[in-house]
Structure 1
Amino acid sequence: MSAPDILSPEFAADPYSAYRTMRDEHPLIWYEPMQSYVISRYADVEKAFKDPVFTSRNYDWQLEPVHGRTILQMEGREHSTHRNLVAPAFRGRELAEKFVPVIEQNSRELIDAFAADGKVDLVDRYATRFPINVIVDMLGLPKTDHEHFHRWYTSIMGFLSNLSGDEAVMADGIRTKGEFSDYMIPIIAARRENPGDDLLSTLCTAEIDGVRMTDHEIKAFCSLLLTAGGETTDKAIASLMSNLVAHPEQLEAVRADPSLIPAAFAETLRHSPPVHMIMRQPSEDVELSGGTVEAGTTVTCLIGAANRDPERYADPDSFDVHRSDLDQGRAYTAGANHTAFCLGRHFCVGAMLARTELETGIAQLLDAMRDIRFTDGTPPPEHGVFTRAPSELRLTFTPA
Structure 2
Amino acid sequence: MTATLEPPDILSPEFARDPYSAYRLLRDEFPLVWHEAMQTYVISRYEDVQRAFKDPVFTSENYAWQLEPVHGRTILQMEGREHSTHRSLVAPAFRGKALQEQFGPTIRRNSRDLVDAFRADGHVDLVDAYATRFPINVIVDMLGLPRTDHDRFHAWYTSIMGFLSNLAGDEAVMAEGLRTKAEFEAYMIPRIRERREHPGDDLLSTLCAAEIDGESMTDEEIKAFCSLLLTAGGETTDKAITSLMADLVAHPEQLDAVRRDRSLIPAAFAETLRWSPPVHMIMRQPSEAVELSGGVVEAGRTVTCLIGAANRDERRFERPEVFDVLRADLDHSRAFSAAADHLAFCLGRHFCVGALLSLFEIEVGMNDLLDAMTDIRFAGGEPPPETGVFTRAPGRLLLEFTPS
TM-score, normalised via structure 1 length: 1.00
1:94-105 correspondence to structure 2 within 5 Å: 94-105=98-109
Partner of residue 212 from structure 1, selected from 205, 216, 227: 216
Partner of residue 55 from structure 2, selected from 42, 51, 54: 51
Q: Distance in 1 between matches of 2:38 and 2:69?
A: 17
Partner of residue 388 from structure 2, selected from 370, 380, 384: 384
Quote the offset at 1:94 in angstroms: 1.2
Q: Secondary structure, in 3 states, of the residue corresponding to 1:301?
A: strand
Are 1:258 and 2:262 counterparts? yes
Q: Secondary structure, in 3 states, of the residue corresponding to 1:188?
A: helix
1:21-32 correspondence to structure 2 within 5 Å: 21-32=25-36
Are 1:169 and 2:177 counterparts? no
Partner of residue 367 from structure 1, selected from 359, 362, 371: 371
Counterpart of 1:272 in structure 2 is 276
Query: Where does structure 2 lack aligned partners over 5 or more consecutive residues?
Result: none
1:372 partner amino acid:
I
Q: Secondary structure, in 3 states, of the residue corresponding to 1:372?
A: strand
Are 1:345 and 2:359 counterparts? no
Counterpart of 1:87 in structure 2 is 91
Q: Secondary structure, in 3 states, of the residue corresponding to 1:134?
A: helix
Q: Distance in 2 between matches of 1:249 and 1:287?
A: 44
Counterpart of 1:244 in structure 2 is 248
Counterpart of 1:290 in structure 2 is 294
Quote the offset at 1:93 in angstroms: 2.0
Quote the offset at 1:100 in angstroms: 1.0
Q: Secondary structure, in 3 states, of the residue corresponding to 1:186?
A: helix
Are 1:312 and 2:301 counterparts? no
Q: Distance in 2 between matches of 1:253 and 1:218?
A: 42
1:335 partner amino acid:
A
Q: Distance in 2 between matches of 1:73 and 1:37?
A: 19
Q: Distance in 2 between matches of 1:98 and 1:50?
A: 32
Q: Secondary structure, in 3 states, of the residue corresponding to 2:341?
A: coil
Instruction: Write out per-residue CA displacement over residues 260-287 of structure 1, whole angstroms, 9 at most, x where no aligned residue.
Output: 0000000000000000000000000000
Partner of residue 62 from structure 1, selected from 53, 62, 66: 66
1:72-83 correspondence to structure 2 within 5 Å: 72-83=76-87
Counterpart of 1:393 in structure 2 is 397
Are 1:147 and 2:131 counterparts? no
Q: Distance in 2 between matches of 1:168 and 1:96?
A: 40
Instruction: Write out per-residue CA displacement over residues 309-338 of structure 1, whole angstroms, 9 at most, x where no aligned residue.
Output: 000101101111000000101100000011
Quote the offset at 1:96 in angstroms: 1.2
Q: Distance in 2 between matches of 1:164 and 1:375?
A: 33
1:297 partner amino acid:
R
Counterpart of 1:156 in structure 2 is 160
Instruction: Write out per-residue CA displacement over residues 119-149 of structure 1, whole angstroms, 9 at most, x where no aligned residue.
Output: 0000000000000000000000001111110
Q: Distance in 2 between matches of 1:329 and 1:89?
A: 21
Q: Distance in 1 between matches of 2:339 and 2:98?
A: 22
Q: Distance in 2 between matches of 1:363 and 1:319?
A: 20
Q: Secondary structure, in 3 states, of the residue corresponding to 1:34?
A: coil
Partner of residue 195 from structure 1, selected from 194, 199, 203: 199
1:33-48 correspondence to structure 2 within 5 Å: 33-48=37-52
Moved over 3 A (4+): none
Q: Secondary structure, in 3 states, of the residue corresponding to 1:33?
A: coil
Q: Secondary structure, in 3 states, of the residue corresponding to 1:279?
A: strand
Q: Distance in 2 between matches of 1:341 and 1:93?
A: 20
1:118 partner amino acid:
G
Quote the offset at 1:72 in angstroms: 0.4
Q: Distance in 2 between matches of 1:375 and 1:170?
A: 35
Q: Distance in 2 between matches of 1:355 and 1:146?
A: 22
Q: Distance in 2 between matches of 1:93 and 1:213?
A: 24
Counterpart of 2:140 in structure 1 is 136
Counterpart of 1:329 in structure 2 is 333
Partner of residue 10 from structure 2, selected from 6, 25, 30: 6
Q: Distance in 2 between matches of 1:275 and 1:218?
A: 24
Quote the offset at 1:92 in angstroms: 2.4
1:68 partner amino acid:
G
Identity of aligned residues (%): 77
2:122 partner amino acid:
G
2:304 partner amino acid:
T
2:167 partner amino acid:
L
Partner of residue 16 from structure 1, selected from 13, 20, 31: 20
Q: Distance in 2 between matches of 1:56 and 1:133?
A: 29
Q: Secondary structure, in 3 states, of the residue corresponding to 1:292?
A: strand
TM-score, normalised via structure 2 length: 0.99
